[in-house]
Amino acid sequence: MVSQNKLYWILTLLGWLGMMSIEILNYTFFIVGHFEWGFVWSFGYYAFLGISLMHAFRFFVKRSTVFDWRPREIWLFAVLSTFVISVIINLLSTIPYLFSEPENISTMYSFIAIFGGTLNSMRYIGVWIIIYFLYQILERSRQLKEAKLESEGIARSMELELLKSQLNPHFLFNALNSIKALVSIDQDKCKDAIVKLSELLRFTLQSGNQTLIPLSTEMEEVKKYLSLEQIRFGERFRFETKMDEQSGYQMVPPGMVLTLAENAIKHGITKTPGLSQLKLSATYEDEMLKIEMTNPGSLEKSEGTGLGLVNIEKRLAHIFHGRAQFAIQQFDAGVKATIIIIK
């Protein structure tokens, strides 16, 4: 691809050579009626002035803050610049005639001659400035959009990492509470719980730098966590998990289902007397993954804004961009949490 600097020079030379050709043809066929080499030298000198002045103007504009101004101010500056440069190029173009036609000096520098020459020059200078300014404005707009998208991407990535970092202490706090209850009750079960906890912590650490993992991997860790909680609650807690084969291959954010399980234990099982049962299912049909978890208890007002559930909503929104839904609702004597991911 041609660099911007090369493209600028190519278009500049073509533009001013085009101006030369138009004026030479105009004088040859419509004004004088015949060709003269003086036309070539005259308009060649004019083109040289145009290239030099506009390049100097471009040099100045590129190092100024013009394109940071408001649109009205930018275009007012463009109009004033067109007029000033046109006056300058018109005056400079008469210099050769000071030596070749000194008798016509008074005519060349009359108000009508300068004004008419300035208006004539504004046709070319104005077109150059309009094209250049439009290009710079569009380019600046593109750069700002790219910078905005990049900053949004960085912010989204940082927020996602923050959300993931918040899950580890949240999970660890709940798991340690479970083990603490076993220390003075059953040391063998306590050892088993510590092994499961170490495996769960290894999972959270290893998956911390991953955005997505297979649901089958996530479900294995959820089973470990529920087994850990079953040690604590004994016979009064049971759980059931179901997952079809296709669901296991689907990719989900690590720790997402685990957070649902933690939430169900904390707000449901621990607050429900007697036998409690948690059911977890995952199905995949018509390119839609559906994960459901039901547990006894009632949906508390504060539960919908808990850290774990808020993290689930935000992570799904960041990763799947509107192709995922999360809902938690009361039904009969229990609570149902549902995650839907459309592939």
pLDDT tens-place string over residues 295-329: 998 887 554 445 668 778 888 888 888 899 999 99
Residue 193: the pLDDT is: 79
Contact 265, 298 (CB under 8 A): no
Residue 305: the pLDDT is: 47
* Residue 331, beta-bridge partner list: 334
Each residue of 8-56: pLDDT tens digit? 899 899 999 999 999 999 989 988 888 999 889 999 999 999 999 999 9
Average pLDDT over residues 210-225: 90
Least confident of 201-210, 239-248, 281-290: 201-210
Each residue of 79-114: pLDDT tens digit? 999 999 999 999 999 888 888 777 777 788 888 988
